[in-house]
A and B are shown apart, each in its own frame.
Chain A
Amino acid sequence: MLHRGLIISVVAAGLFVASCGQEELPPPPVEEGPNQDSIDAARRAAEEAARRAAEEEARRAAALEAAREALTAMVFFDFDMAEIRSDAEGVLQRKVDVLRASPAVQLRIEGHADERGSSEYNLALGSRRAEAVRQFFVNAGLAQSRFDVRSYGEEQPREMGSNEQSWAQNRRDEFVITAGGNQIQVPGGGQ
């Protein structure tokens, strides 16, 4: 508050100085009718404002899209493991930031496994992977009721290959926004 008041007074002082300086110049020629320059200037100002608004809108949309992408970004797991990998922590922390800023948003966490091992055991493994991420969110202070977990086991691979590259892509959690998708707030974007 104090800062803002100070800024306003400084700006006001500057304007005063500027206008004082202008008064020393010779008076502009008086013309009948509208001043073409000032019309152009107004139009330019309006265009500039519109451009700025559009830019601002685009920036906000991009930030919103980034927040949405942060929410749905996948995390990956090691073979037969449900522990959160260190490279997944950053991805999950960004989700936490968006979720904190967007209390209306609810997520479904879908656990998946690669094709190795038995179909039924991999259902359980996928469910552990989904649960591990829900625990991460709960530990970060988010309400458990905002998250629905389920497992598709090995039945819905992203990559069809039978090699480590494909398997690594298939050992994952996916995220679906189930509520509040139109009420996503960009974290730290309030001012």
Chain B
Amino acid sequence: MRKGVRTANQVRQVSRGGPGRALGGATALLLILLSATAGRAAAQVDTIPGAVRHLGVVYESYVPTLAISPFTGRFGGLTVAPRVEAVIARDLRYSDRFEMMDSIPLAPGGGGVDYGLWDQFGADWLVTGQVEGLGNRFVLVLELHDVVFSEVKERARFSLPRPDAEDFRMAIHAISDDVVRWITGEPGMAASRICFSMESAAGSQELYVVDSDGENLRRLTNFNSLTMSCSWSPDGSRLAFLSFASGDPAIHEMEIATRQTRVLDFNRTGQPMTPVYHPNGEEIIFSLADGAESGLFSWRVREDCCLWRLTAGRWNDLSPSFSPDGRRLAFNSNRLGVAIPQIYVMPAESGGRPDLVSPYLYGQGGYYTSPDWAPSGDRVAFHGRYRRGSYHILIADVAAQGQRLLQLTYEGNNEDPSWAPDGRHLVFVGERDWGFGLFVVDTVSGRIRPVLSGVRPRVPDWSPNLASTEAPTREN
């Protein structure tokens, strides 16, 4: 009965008896639509955004259940197997794409995979793994089983770095991302890091980096001065940031592997800020405030030359972020008024007229800053508030020009969103009753989890994918 054309989740949904099972995993999301007539909605106060209606549209999506059978070991691999399994299990949980069954003490059914039993447990997918010792190294043989169709969907061998090597966890994260791609066809975000700035024990603000799962918090700079606004190069090897390390505020670039840092000298007066890489990796776009004017400028980092002005005016244009194809730019500007910064999108070649994507309404105020363009799809995340309300994370549909917004946070204050390489998650700085922290929100389910708490991080930037598995030997 289950043979035949294999379709995706709809088939699973039907075979499992409808969406009832999936409801638990699917979290309600509110789609916020700007009301057609602004004046009518103007009476609302202190919510974000002011003139919206909460339509209460609930998106239900089918979330498959994924089980992980305890990893086994051969030739001494058992010493490492639980560690490998734990990292993969957490990565798959944090991917927010599955209902997880990963705390099973023993593999049911002993040796072989008993699909009938896993099916009774409600699993759609099953991951099994065996770690084999190979000299002083290890190999992970990973299998993805399609429980519904009672067959092995993928099988691959991954050689692992030595368990005490610095890149051990990152190599396993890359395997987790492969599992996500096997099942969903979409990129994962486990093999990535988040850069941000934070006050060090010595009292200066330095750059830090943490793995996507909150492990491996490390300090990158020791400049003993204000350093902030880090931005990853598209290949993940370099960071651009603002620092006062040399006395004057300047854009710096660091080669992460060697920590070698240089100051970009534009030979121009004014304070540069908010640098970001062009997707081609060869240019940096940043804001320069000089005198009463400010604007966005580009600089060719490879050749170390050629300051080029994209915008300028008697206001502030800042926090640029490129569309993935590099053709458009989202940025923040207070050109409509000093206390009402808004988010704009414009062609990356200067001269085009900027379009609003934040929900500005004449005379209604509203404060929207820190745009970040999604790595997939024409969506821009930013944070903002309406009048004197709290700051929340919002996503705008670029094509809708501020008319369609998704609000992702409802608690505390929330700032500076940055997209994960999977185009689905955002990291942001959250303020709660108990303090500050770095949080990740899944933009599909609305689920929020803390990455770091009890610290005061600033302006996080999520890296691109930093590791991929080296052409795993597929065995199916």
* Interface positions of A from 86 to 141, Cβ below 8 Å from B: 117-121, 123-125, 127-128, 131, 135
Whether a CB of chain A sits under 8 angstroms from the CB of B407 is no
> B459: which A residues are within 8 A, CB to CB?
119-120
For residue B338, which residues in chain A have a CB less than 8 angstroms away from its CB?
A: 80-82, 128
Known: A80-B338, A131-B289. A118 touches B249 (CB 8 A): no
Which residues from A are CB-within-8-Å of B369?
Answer: 117-118, 120-121
Bound: A149/B291 CA distance, A: 9
Cα–Cα distance between A121 and B459 once the two chains are bound (Å): 11
- Cross-chain contact A117 with B228 (CB below 8 angstroms): no
**Contact residues in B for A127 (Cβ distance below 8 Å):** 271, 273, 289, 294, 316
Give complex CA distance A131, B369 in Å: 21
Interface size class of B (residues with CB under 8 A): 20 to 34
Check A150/B271 contact, CB under 8 A, given A121-B369, A124-B294: yes
Among the listed stretches A40-48, A67-75, A151-159, A164-172, which one makes contact with chain B, having 4 or more residues with CB under 8 Å of it? A151-159
- A120 with B319: CB separation less than 8 A: yes
Chain A 156-182 interface mask (CB, 8 Å, partner B; 1/0) = 100000000000000000000000000
CB of A77, distance to nearest CB on chain B (Å): 11
Q: Which residues in B have their C-beta under 8 angstroms from that of A80?
A: 338-339
With A124-B316, A155-B205, A156-B226 in contact, do A118 and B416 touch (Cβ < 8 Å)? yes
Q: Which of the residues A121, A123, A135 comes within 8 Å of B341, measured between beta carbons?
A: A121
Over the window 6-23 of chain A, the binary record of Cβ atoms lying under 8 Å from chain B Cβ atoms (1 yes, 0 no) is 000000000000000000
Give CA–CA (A170, B300) in the complex, Å. Answer: 37
User: Which chain B residues lie closer than 8 Å to A150 at the CB level?
Assistant: 248-249, 271
Contact A121 B319 (CB under 8 A): yes
Cα distance A151–B226 in the bound complex, in angstroms: 11
Q: Which residue of A lies closest to B385 (CB)?
A: A117
| Inter-chain contacts of B367 with A (CB < 8 A) | 117
Chain A residue, CB-CB nearest to B341: A121
Contacts of B341 in A (CB 8 A): 121
Cβ proximity bits B366-380 to A, threshold 8 Å, 1 near / 0 not: 010110000000000
Chain B residues with CB under 8 Å of A119's CB are 228-229, 415-416, 458-459
Question: A121-B318, A151-B271, A155-B226 are known contacts. Are A135 and B370 too (CB-CB below 8 A)?
Answer: no
Known contacts A118-B383, A120-B459, A127-B271: does B228 contact A155 (CB below 8 Å)? yes
Q: How distant is B84 from chain A, measured CB to nearest CB, in Å?
A: 38
Contacts of B358 in A (CB 8 A): none
B433 to nearest A CB, angstroms? 12
Q: In the complex the two chains form, is A81's CB within 8 Å of B271's CB? A: no
Give CA–CA (A125, B416) in the complex, Å: 17
A80 to B316, CA, bound (A): 13
Q: Are B229 and A120 in contact (CB under 8 A)?
A: yes
Q: Which chain B residues lie closer than 8 Å to A156 at the CB level?
A: 226
Within the complex, what minimum Cβ distance (angstroms) separates B76 from chain A?
49
Which B residues touch A123, using CB under 8 A? Answer: 229, 242, 271, 273-274, 318
B176 within 8 A of A: no
Confirm or deny: B332 has a beta carbon within 8 angstroms of a beta carbon on chain A: yes
Contact check, B319 vs A81: say whether CB atoms are below 8 A apart: no
Contact between A121 and B332, CB atoms less than 8 A apart: yes
When chains A and B are docked, how far (Å) is the Cα of A38 from the Cα of B187?
103
Given the contacts A81-B338, A120-B229, A120-B369, A149 and B271 also touching, CB distance less than 8 Å: yes
How distant is the Cα of A80 from the Cα of B391 in the complex, in angstroms? 15
Kindly list chain B residues whose C-beta atoms are within 8 Å of the C-beta of A155: 205, 226, 228, 458
Q: Which residues of A contact B332 (CB under 8 A)?
A: 120-121
Evaluate contact between B415 and A118: CB separation under 8 angstroms. Answer: yes
Whether B69 sits at the interface, judged by CB under 8 Å, is no
Specify which chain B residues have a CB less than 8 angstroms from the CB of A121 in the assembled complex: 316, 318-319, 332, 334, 341, 369-370
The CA of A119 and the CA of B205, in the complex, are separated in Å by: 13
Q: Give residues 244-270 of B contacting A (CB, 8 Å).
A: 244, 248-249
A90–B64 Cα distance when bound, in Å, is: 69
Q: Does B287 contact A (CB under 8 A)?
A: yes
A158 to B416, CA, bound (A): 23
Which residues does chain A contribute within 8 Å of B458, judged by CB atoms? Answer: 119, 155
Task: Report the minimal beta-carbon distance from B268 to chain A, rounded to whole angstroms.
Answer: 14
In whole Å, how far is A173's beta carbon from the nearest beta carbon of chain B? 14
B360 → A minimal CB distance (Å): 15
Contact with A along B309-352 (1 / 0, CB 8 A): 00000001011000000000000101000110100000000000
- The interface residues of chain B lying within 8 Å CB-to-CB of A118 are 319, 369-370, 383, 391, 415-416
**Distance, CA A149 to CA B270, complexed state (A):** 8
Q: Which of A81, A82, A119, A135 has the most CB of B within 10 A?
A: A119
**B442-458 interface mask toward A, CB cutoff 8 Å, 1 = contact, 0 = none?**
00000000000000001
Q: Top 3 closest A-B pairs, CB basis?
A: A124-B316, A118-B369, A127-B289
Chain A to chain B contacts (Cβ below 8 Å), 14 pairs: A80-B338, A81-B338, A117-B391, A118-B415, A119-B458, A120-B459, A121-B316, A123-B229, A124-B273, A124-B334, A127-B316, A149-B271, A155-B228, A156-B226
Could you tell me which A residues sit within 8 Å of B by CB distance?
80-82, 117-121, 123-125, 127-128, 131, 135, 149-152, 155-156
Query: Given known contacts A118-B391, A127-B294, A131-B289, what 4 new A-B pairs fall within 8 Å (CB)?
Result: A118-B319, A120-B318, A120-B459, A131-B291
